[in-house]
Amino acid sequence: MLHNELIKKSRNEKGISLGELSRLTGIAKSTLQRYETGDTRKIPVEAISMIEKALNLSSGTLLGWDKEELYKNLHSPDITEEYVEFPVIGEVAAGYEHIAVEDWEGDKIKIPSEYLTGHGKDDYFVLRVKGDSMYPQYQEGDKVLVLKQSTMDYSGQTGVVIYGDENATLKRIEYKFGEDWLRLVPINPNHPTVKIENEDLEHCRVLGIPKLLIREFKD
């Protein structure tokens, strides 16, 4: 909730007139006056931010945020001891023409059991993303927990697909029931959409649907 009275109080303490505050923020003087008196209850977040900046206040001050109290009231995270370990097998291309492989170089990842949403370990596999056609949603090096299924839930859903019998890719998959085609659609506009149709569909199959993205941040 906005503490309107803090605007006038802070302004007076710093010797800033309404006119000066208007010049610093670009907000009309009459509008600022209504903010101070509380006549205007809904104030845009951008306006609050500009006023705080002009008055040299910490972000959230006018909303009554007390950082020390905020941190004090934060609960410690729950640490689960129940997890499932998966080998990270091969790579799935966020691009095209990447040969599907199932090699394993010893990389493993632990997934909390609750993320399996009632499914067994054998219902999932973990792949590493290669390429940038699904950037920014998926980035090279990301690990993806994939739920095994041979069909899509709806057109436009992201799935892991093998096409041409040996090329694996991660894409949004578009199709229409009753028609012999599907499109592999990237998120990154720098990559083309690929259409697979007619007899080529016989060499195309869905492997699964991404359910969890694991990304490691490096300094």
* pLDDT, tens digit (0-9, with 9 covering 90-100), for 2-13: 677 888 888 888
pLDDT score of 35: 87
Do 43 and 27 touch, CB atoms closer than 8 A?
A: no
pLDDT for residue 4:
77
Q: What's the confidence (pLDDT) of residue 70?
A: 46
What are the start-end ranges of the H helices in the chain?
A: 5-13, 18-25, 29-37, 45-54, 67-72
Listed range (95-104, 166-175, 188-197) with the worst mean pLDDT: 95-104
pTM, rounded to two decimals? 0.60
Average pLDDT over residues 198-210: 91
Which of 10, 130, 133, 143 is catalytic? The answer is 133
pLDDT at 148: 92
Q: Does residue 101 surpass a pLDDT of 80?
A: no
In whole angstroms, give the CA distance from residue 12 to residue 143.
54
Give the range among 2-6, 53-57, 127-131 with minimum mean pLDDT: 2-6
Average the pLDDT over 128-145 and give the result.
Answer: 89
DSSP code per residue over 79-128: PP--EEEEEEEEEEESSSS-B------S-EEEEEGGGGTT--GGGEEEEE
The residue from 10, 130, 143, 171 that is catalytic is 171
Say if residue 66's pLDDT is above 60: no
Q: What is the pLDDT of residue 93?
A: 66
Our measurement of the distance from residue 195's CA atom to the centroid of its chain's CA atoms, rounded to an integer in Å, reads 27
Residues in CB range of 190: below 8 A, 6 or more apart:
133
C-alpha span between 162 and 204 (Å, rounded): 5
Position 102 confidence tier, pLDDT thresholds 50, 70, 90: low
CB 11 within 8 A of CB 4: no
Chain-wide mean pLDDT for the chain?
84
Domains observed in the chain: 5-72 (1.10.260.40), 83-214 (2.10.109.10)
Judge whether 133 counts as a catalytic residue. yes
d(Cα 112, Cα 81) in Å, to the nearest integer? 8
Q: Which residue from 99, 97, 211, 194 is spatially nearest to 158, judged by alpha carbons? A: 211
Is residue 95 over pLDDT 80?
A: no
What pLDDT sits at residue 75? Answer: 62
